Chains A and B, each alone.
Chain A
Amino acid sequence: MRQPSARRTRTGYLFCLPGLVFLALFLAYPLLYNVWTSVHDVDLGQLLGGAERFNGLDNYRSVTDDPAFWHSVRLSLVFTLASLLLQFTIGFALALLFARPFPLNGLLRSLLLVAWLLPPVVSGTLFRWMLDAESGAYNALLEPFGLSHDWLTDPSTSMAGVVFANVWVGVPFNMLLLLVGLHTIDPVLHEAAEIDGASAWQRFRHITLPLMRPVSVTVLLLGLLYTFKVFDLVFVMTGGGPVDATRVLSLYVYEVFFTFFRFGRGAAAGLLLLVVPLLVGVWYVRRLRREEEPAGGAV
């Protein structure tokens, strides 16, 4: 009396249909449309008049000829690498601390996560205030050491300011994933090594670190994907400035598209911005599938 499986399969497809149609309309189509725009000469006037002209790779050429674009690429690299390094190291240290059982562990851990859940616009506003030249709390703390500084409005330090805020946002997530990784390490390994006279550092170096490698790769890749496309936080904190000191790629694309309304160019720049996440993402998904969907596997 089982329902015929052909019918079940048909119903299954029907269940998928609305969601897939939606994603096709609002995700796939816009992205493909972006490809179309990127090879046409489109600005606001032409868009309304409907007189877009095919111009081949001109948009790509003018983007890659633009020194500001390469400047943004460099800034994105600096922003991403500095953020990854710092949030991973700090996250790892915190994970090691929170991996040990102690009273209030769960509560304190949840409190840390609040930082990461705040909308980026709120965090951005908050760090503008914390780093404010005259009355910012951080400057008040740094004052006694003669280190107070106008962090965000000085072009030479504004990048440090936005990285600092981004690291603050990223640390809890890094800690969380690394903590999950630490819990999968069999404690017997550490006990055996300790009996054999291994110091805490040796145990960390020769047991914890190697066993944490797969999780670490995941954390760093997710961090890379996330950090590379950060927009809100930087936009709110500095708007890309002062001058162009923090105009990372996502802000560059925003500016070309929404400030100058050079749609064709903006589309081309956007697609160039897509290259890195796509490469990393495809590599990562393949790696995940090879591990056959581990429980709690990410992306």
Chain B
Amino acid sequence: MRAPRHPWLLTAAATAVTAVFLLPVYWMVKTSLTRPERIEAPDPQWVPGPVTGENYSAALGYEGLTRALLNSLVISSGVVALTLLLGVPLAYALARVRMRGSGAMVLALLVAQLPPAIVLAAPLFILERRAGLTDTYLGLIAADTTLTLPFTVIVLRPVMRGVSPELEEAALVDGCGLPGVLLRVVLPLMVPGVVAAAGLSFLIGWGEFLFGLTLAQSPDVQPVTVLLNAFVGQHGTSWGALMATATLISVPVVCVFALFQRFIVGGLTTGSVRG
């Protein structure tokens, strides 16, 4: 498209749109920094006035919160590890090895993203209960990985195709087996892709709620998303602490996004359907 005559006018318009759009996010952070007695004033303050950390100490003072944040960290790290462990070889084989049925496998991975999480949560509840996996990190990690694994493979496969086959052939000629080729030749070349896929899986694991709600009854393993929802019910009016908690949950999301932005945008437009 041609360069517009007044590019800064467009910048102004886009800035205004973005500001209006992001008002809720601003309001979340603003509320979290406002003194509790001023939060529910009939005339909301548009700037926090004296900034305070009170809401954060109130939220963190609730013993469950640090535990839940830690649980979320454990769960989403586990999701990342399991997803990469299972997904990288799978994506590589589907990208590079001629196999019967690889078309069917790709199709299955696409279809695997269709079932709404609630349809899976119900039978998983029964089955994991029988297997003794409810109320365990493992049970939650496995459930969340059903969301991230198909997605990661779909996203990584084209990335792996991008690695020049000559390099692999050379390594194979040198007597490297396929696992060696994957570990020593392909993986180093696609570190950015794999790291970003890890970032994506982390985001999905970190934000997951339904499996946390249904498969974890004990606060020992419940993720912070479930705790936030419980807060909304219990301390429905303590908006300061709530918004502080919401902000705390959002910070890792924004950091991970800022780090891997390019790939995440590409990956999410290529991949995700289920939620």
Contacts and interface: CB of A to CB of B under 8 A. Distances in A.
Contact of A135 (B24, B239, B275): B239
Given A18-B89, A23-B146, A31-B119, A281 B114 contact: yes
A274 interface: yes
B11 A120 contact: no
B275 A267 contact: no
A19 B87 contact: yes
A296 B125 CA distance: 35
B31 interface: yes
B86 A19 contact: yes
Contact of A118 (B145, B250, B264): B250
Nearest to B204: A119
B172 interface: yes
A120 to B, nearest CB: 7
By size class, the interface of chain B is: 35 or more
Contacts of A110: 257, 261
Interface residues of A, number: 102
Contacts of A84: none
B242 A125 contact: yes
Contact of A271 (B98, B114, B119): B119
Interface in B226-275: 228-229, 232, 239, 242-243, 246, 249-250, 253-254, 257, 261, 264-266, 268-271, 273-275
Contact of A103 (B11, B25, B31, B44): B11
Contacts of B1: 99-101, 187, 190
Residue from A108, A122, A225 having most chain B Cβ neighbours under 10 A: A122
Interface in A277-299: 277-278, 281-282, 285, 295-299
A279 to B, nearest CB: 10
Contact of B11 (A102, A222, A225, A257): A102
A5 B96 CA distance: 12
A15 B154 contact: no
Q: Is the interface of A mostly helix, strand, loop or mixed?
A: helix
B149 A117 contact: no
Given A23-B150, A30-B120, A103-B11, A187 B2 contact: yes
A122 B149 contact: no
Contacts of B42: 134-135
Contacts of A115: 21-22, 24-25
B7 interface: yes
Given A119-B250, A270-B116, 9 more contacts: A2-B169, A27-B115, A114-B254, A114-B257, A119-B249, A122-B225, A135-B39, A231-B117, A235-B229
Interface of B: 1-4, 7-8, 10-11, 13-15, 17-18, 21-25, 27-28, 31, 39-44, 82, 85-87, 89-90, 92-94, 96-99, 105, 107-108, 110-127, 142-143, 145-146, 149-150, 153-154, 158, 169, 172-173, 177-179, 182, 203, 206-210, 214, 225, 228-229, 232, 239, 242-243, 246, 249-250, 253-254, 257, 261, 264-266, 268-271, 273-275
Interface of A: 1-3, 5, 8-9, 11-13, 15-16, 18-20, 22-23, 26-27, 29-31, 33-34, 37, 47, 94, 97-105, 108, 110-115, 117-130, 132, 134-135, 137, 140, 168, 171, 173, 176-177, 180, 187, 190-191, 222, 225-226, 228-232, 235-236, 250, 253-254, 257-258, 263, 266-267, 270-271, 273-274, 277-278, 281-282, 285, 295-299
21 contacts: A2-B172, A3-B172, A13-B99, A16-B99, A34-B119, A94-B17, A98-B14, A114-B25, A115-B25, A117-B257, A118-B25, A126-B243, A129-B28, A129-B31, A135-B239, A137-B44, A187-B1, A226-B273, A263-B126, A274-B115, A285-B111
